[in-house]
Amino acid sequence: MIARVALDLALRKEFDYAVPADLEGRLEVGARVKVPFGRREILGSVVALVESSPQTNLREIKAVVGRQAQLTASVLELARWMAGYYCCPLETALKSVLPEAVRQEQEGWRERLTVRVAAAQGEPPELTKRQREVLAILEEWRELPLQELLKLAETTADTVRRLEDKGLVAIRSEVSERDPYGDETFVATQPLALNPEQSAALGAVVGALDGGAGPSVFLLHGVTGSGKTEVYLQALAHALAQGRGAIVLVPEISLTPQTVERFKSRFQHGANRTMVAVLHSHLSAGERHDEWQKIRQGRARIVIGARSAVFAPVERLGLIVVDEEHEASYKQGEAPRYHARDVAVVRAAREGAVVVLGSATPSMESYHHARSGKYRLLELPHRADAAKLPVVRVVDMRTEARKQKGPPVFSHLLHEAILQRLERREQTMLFLNRRGYSTSLQCPLCGYVAGCPNCSVSLTYHRQRQRLCCHVCGHEEAVPSECPDPKCRNPGIRYAGLGTERLEEALARQFAKARVARMDSDTLQRKSDYRRVLTDFRSGRIDILVGTQMIAKGLHFPNVTLVGIVYADLGLHLPDFRAGERTFQLLTQVSGRAGRGDIEGEVIVQAFTPFHPAIQYARRHDYLGFYDQEIEFRQALGYPPFARVALVTLRGRNEEKVQFSADHVRKELERVLVGFRDLIIAGPGPAPLARAETFYRYQVMLRTRAMSRLASMLDPWVQGLTLPEDIRLSLDIDPVDLL
Ligand SMILES: [Zn+2]
Ligand SMILES: [Zn+2]
């Protein structure tokens, strides 16, 4: 028997190894193995077992890592699909589907193997002297931990395994598990009564789980607070009752203790201590290992996690839920550049599972699929608790700037509204998607702007730390006391633009008595900071919470009656065709934080382009209106969902060389893809972020409706392409970020 192995090196090549006699019949496809490679020993995954090999002089597998094949057949196939579609080596795709802690197996199990005498039947087999000794010791003790037995008998595990093979002893593993939620108790919850819309949505999903006809991908479009989660929970219960497993994907940022608790409380109580496994980036390597193994062994049947949980080794998969399906964080930024939502749809189709994509603001792609019948649309247009959607008012900051002689932090309207909430002892959330104090340091005399020496962006002033920082590469420098231009030396150099730090300061100045807290990646260094601020806010020890997109999602505070969006057009004018969609989504999400209790909420949106459709439709809670006008623009320009995009980016330190290489790439693409119908090639041109981390960046964009076919041609082309040594090329299929 021969094992075909993909090594943990991105060589784009599988190697054959002989299976040693003692592994014959035991080695499974998907197992992790240690193999000799050159003079080294490295790890790899068995991707096939074959009878013969074109290679000669096969070397032997050294060892199997772990007790069970880590890759299930279906996940292995999914990795193969991913390597093909996203144009990356299989090895790279395999790296994504297994957590590092499992791949390396260094964390190991906190496992204790115990050995006991087994009731042998029939003629006693022949034993070696050593084996008889081990058996004698064990008969005396009846049962011993393996490690102790080995010490007592002065022998190796192999001897004991031989006895196991002969049926004379039994080895059992006792696992002491690391459980990240081990300290918490979950109060069991019962299914809630559903309103008619929720019932209809659940009925459709249950029908598909029961094998009904029609598309098995659902788009659950529900306004914020419409009770989507309860629909997920009851659909999950149905899948479990069928004996099937499920995966729930949640954006990392929304994977709060609150969220996990909702799922654990429903499904994990009594004897089901391991029913729900959680996978996210805050777990220690050991916790991640154990959570993953719970799934692999079938003890956890529901997995809740961020992006990579889509690869969880759930068998008999019945349902995948992708909550907040429009979130850009489902896309991985490095190879393999997969999109977890799209992978979920592919995986479910292969395994006969049902998918529910949920969102208050579905992506243009998903809604388009729902309209065209590829997905089934389910709608929850009302809030579950019958509370009204908040009133949204848009303030024209251009007029405000004229009235107040310069753009103020707070418009008159927002200022009054905050005062009112303080008097009524209600809470306010202020949203500004930019951390730091100011956007830039500018000289009003000569026009100098402090820029990053490595990137084509201006530096942000951080007042607390008294530093200028680059948010792209992390470069930091001291704050100059005068304009650094030797011909100017103006001491009146000024900060322009507004960040959360300055917003917090302005609040302290204008509302001296208010208790203010700020939440952004500068103030939250530890996981516990996040919990502490939220607990303080919930218990009313904070009046005003200031934050970046961290506060935009999934948080429910009944006493918040005012949400202020301080600078709504911040992301609106980025050179990306999704800028409008993103702004609409963000405004809708943030607005959803207001008025979830008995009191109606109010949202005040400050904008310099108040009549932009993204802002106006968000004001009216009109998703469909936004969709209809946006889809027209996408169709006219041939952007997704009417075509798919492949983005080629070239990077290098020498701008001329990068530009030259980009020209070369364009010509090569035209040559290779000649006759490929339905293709638009645009560029090359400098990327919107033209320089990052000292690298100049140029892009070529391809658009087609036949992406699978295009990807299958691009992959070998990239492999064969020769570029100057210091020029790097990356290929992103279905990019979500064009910067
Ligand atoms: Zn100057
Ligand atoms: Zn930089």
**Position of tokens 């050991």?**
286
**CA distance linking residue 395 with residue 413, whole number of Å:** 8
Distance CA(66)–CA(103), nearest Å, equals 9
Ligand 1: centre distance to CA 461 (Å): 17
Q: How many A from CA of 569 to the centre of ligand 2?
A: 23
**pLDDT digits over 607-627, tens only?**
988 999 999 999 999 999 999
Q: Which helix (H) or strand (E) holds 343?
A: helix 340-351
Tokens of 632: 């027209």
Q: Scanning the structure block, which residue is given the tokens 């492949």?
A: 646
Residues 178, 290 contacting (CB under 8 angstroms): yes
Q: Ligand 1 centre from 654 Cα, in Å?
A: 29
Strands of 302-305's sheet in order across: 276-279, 302-305, 245-249, 317-323, 354-359, 217-222, 376-380
Indicate the helix (H) or strand (E) that contains 546. strand 544-547
- Ion ligand 1 — residues with CB < 5 Å: 443, 445-446, 448, 483, 485, 488, 490
Taking the centre of ligand 1 as the mean of its atom positions, its distance from the CA of residue 697, in whole angstroms, is 29
Residue 357's DSSP bridge partners are 219, 322
Q: Measure Cα distances from 143 to 110, 116, 273, 725 in Å.
A: 19, 4, 27, 62
- Nearest ligand, measured from the Cα of 442: 1
- Give 319's strand partners: 246, 354
Tokens 């006219």 label which residue? 636
Ligand 2: distance of its center to the CA of 573 in Å?
21
Ligand nearest to the CA of 451: 2
Question: How far, in Å, from the CA of 493 to the mean position of ligand 1?
Answer: 7
Round the CA-based radius of gyration of the chain to a whole number and report it: 29
Q: What is the CA(491)–ligand 1 centre distance, in A?
A: 8
Q: Average pLDDT for consecutive 10-residue bins of the chain (739 residues)? A: 90 91 87 91 92 89 84 94 94 90 62 74 79 85 78 85 86 68 71 92 96 88 90 96 95 83 82 79 81 88 95 95 95 94 97 96 97 95 79 91 84 95 93 83 84 86 86 87 89 83 91 90 73 86 89 76 90 84 90 75 91 93 95 92 95 94 95 92 90 92 94 91 92 90
| Amino acid residing at 324 | E
Residue whose pair of structure tokens reads 């918040």 in the numeric block: 560
* Residue pLDDT, tens place only, 216-232: 999 999 988 889 999 99
Residue listed under structure tokens 């994977």: 255
Distance 476 CA to ligand 2 centre (A): 8
Amino acid at 230: E
CA of 434 to the centre of ligand 2 (A): 16
> Taking the model in full, what pTM does it have?
0.84
* Structure confidence by residue, pLDDT tens digits, 583-613: 999 898 888 888 766 778 899 999 988 999 9
Residue 674's Cβ-count burial label (10 Å; 0-12, 13-18, 19+) is exposed
Nearest residue to 374 (alpha-carbon basis) of 210, 200, 203, 219: 219
Q: Tell me the H-state helices in 193-284.
A: 196-209, 228-241, 257-267
DSSP label of 550: G
Name the average pLDDT for the chain: 88
Residue with tokens 């990019």: 735
From the CA of 471, how far away is ligand 2's center (Å)? 7
How far does the centroid of ligand 2 lie from the alpha carbon of residue 469, in Å? 8
